[in-house]
Amino acid sequence: MITKAAPLRLPIANGQFANNEVVLETPVVLAPMAGITNSAFRTLCREQGAGLFVSEMVTARALIERHPETMRLITPGKGETPRSVQLYAVDPIVVGQAIALLASENLADHIDLNFGCPVPKVTRRGGGAALPFKRKLFSAIVASAVKAATPYGIPVTVKMRIGIDAEHHTYLEAAKSAADQGVAWVALHARTAGQMYEGKADWSRIAQLVEYMAPTGVPVLGNGDIWSGSDGVRMVEETGCAGVVVGRGCLGRPWLFAELAAAFNGEPNPDLPDLFHVRSVMYRHGELLVDFFESEGRAMRDLRKHMAWYLKGFSVPRELRANFGMVSSLSELQHLLNQLENQPYPTEIAEAPRGRRSHGRAVHLPDGWLHDPDEFASITIDDAVSGG
């Protein structure tokens, strides 16, 4: 049993941090989630517990072109360090240019490369979880990223899936290739792209990758089905991974990071919040979104999608619940929150899966994508895939 987890170290050589590295005493990373992990949500999670909090995915080309929404997405919250940006790229030259921009203008302390996105609009163009199948292209992208980041002391990490589908696993070879290029760690979501978010993550794949990567000395992080603090500890115990990456488990539950911090430090689990505590978190989230968007209307539109997650399992009148989904101002939000009657947290759903539960499907790929894994394909992906 873990009584206190080993810290996770992220080497940074630009002098911003003591000993030229970030030490994550709680080895937990917030997974980038499109439309979710803006600086407001990251701040909310940081207030709950320790860890590394990664931005939403942005495309390298949109960054080079300084797309306004992309520049907003990489803007850190107040006091946010290290500044962690997840970058999506399909061209070695473009990724190098994007990282050079981030580094030379001091806009990031850590770069994570996305090779795990399973959505069709990405994979049908050969990106995300489809890309590691093209071995030479994958290696070239990672090498270009590390080369551009190294002079500035910025560490590069990668996040990937098991592979495209049950017949096309890429994670072992891709992870070793990334290690050879100099990444600081590899994170594995233990599902294939074809599984989307279906069923249970196969943690045995994480354990296999840990063993496979041991000779390289590059740490492996595990991702998939972390719904509680005890799940995080169990993943480390069962797989030997150096830390965990948390995605859907924190939706409507940013206090999951407090649970994880307690669990990894061998401390008692914090009490679950009652509804009055939850409503204070909801209002805080709204305030942070107003600061982020600099528009109350836009902030409330963004907050609406979180309402069902926050209120999941609580007894809330149907009309009131519907009104939360249409909230348009902070004053209206406060008025609605004042109508909630306090009640204990619904323990039956506290550790239940939440968020996307897409069924498995055939992965959309470019024509002929699976013919030759060594073909050096170079793909141009629309900037719209990242929302900017």
Assess whether 33 and 178 both reside in one domain: yes
**Share above pLDDT 70 across residues of the chain, in percent, rounded to a whole number:** 91
Q: Would you say residue 239 has pLDDT above 50?
A: yes
**Confidence tier at 307 by pLDDT (50, 70, 90):** very high
Taking each helix axis as running N to C, give the angle between helix 229-239 and helix 256-264, from 0 to 180 degrees, rounded to the nearest 10.
Answer: 50
**Confidence tier at 73 by pLDDT (50, 70, 90):** very high
**Number of domains within the chain:** 2
d(CA 105, CA 217): 31
Q: Would you say residue 351 has pLDDT above 80?
A: no
Assess whether 247 and 330 both reside in one domain: no
Q: What is the pLDDT of residue 28?
A: 94
**Confidence tier at 14 by pLDDT (50, 70, 90):** very low
Structural Rg of the chain based on CA atoms: 20
Whether residue 353 is contained in a domain is answered as no
Amino acid sitting at position 160: M
**Share above pLDDT 90 across residues of the chain, in percent, rounded to a whole number:** 74
d(CA 330, CA 252): 18
d(CA 246, CA 187): 11
Q: What's the mean pLDDT in 6-10?
A: 82
d(CA 235, CA 248): 16
Sort strands 84-88 and 28-30 into parallel, antiparallel or unpaired. Answer: unpaired
Q: CATH number of the domain that 158 lies in?
A: 3.20.20.70
d(CA 268, CA 203): 25
Structure tokens at 111: 């770069």
Whether residue 360 is contained in a domain is answered as no
Assess whether 236 and 327 both reside in one domain: no
Residue pair 95/89 in contact (Cβ under 8 Å)? The answer is yes
Poorest-confidence range of 6-20, 133-147, 315-329?
6-20
The range of the structural domain enclosing residue 26 comes to 8-269
Q: What is the pLDDT of residue 376?
A: 65
Question: Which residues carry out catalysis?
Answer: 117
Assess whether 185 and 311 both reside in one domain: no
Assess whether 290 and 230 both reside in one domain: no
On the question of a cis peptide bond just before residue 132, with omega within 30 degrees of 0, the verdict is no
Q: What is the pLDDT of residue 26?
A: 87
Amino acid sitting at position 135: R
d(CA 45, CA 142): 29
Whether residue 92 is contained in a domain is answered as yes
Whether residue 165 is contained in a domain is answered as yes
Assess whether 82 and 119 both reside in one domain: yes
Residue pair 177/142 in contact (Cβ under 8 Å)? The answer is yes
Whether residue 215 is contained in a domain is answered as yes
Domain boundary among 224, 242, 269: 269
Q: Would you say residue 13 has pLDDT above 70?
A: no
Assess whether 253 and 283 both reside in one domain: no
On the question of a cis peptide bond just before residue 82, with omega within 30 degrees of 0, the verdict is yes
d(CA 208, CA 115): 19
Whether residue 223 is contained in a domain is answered as yes
Encode pLDDT of 248-265 as tens digits.
999 999 999 999 999 998
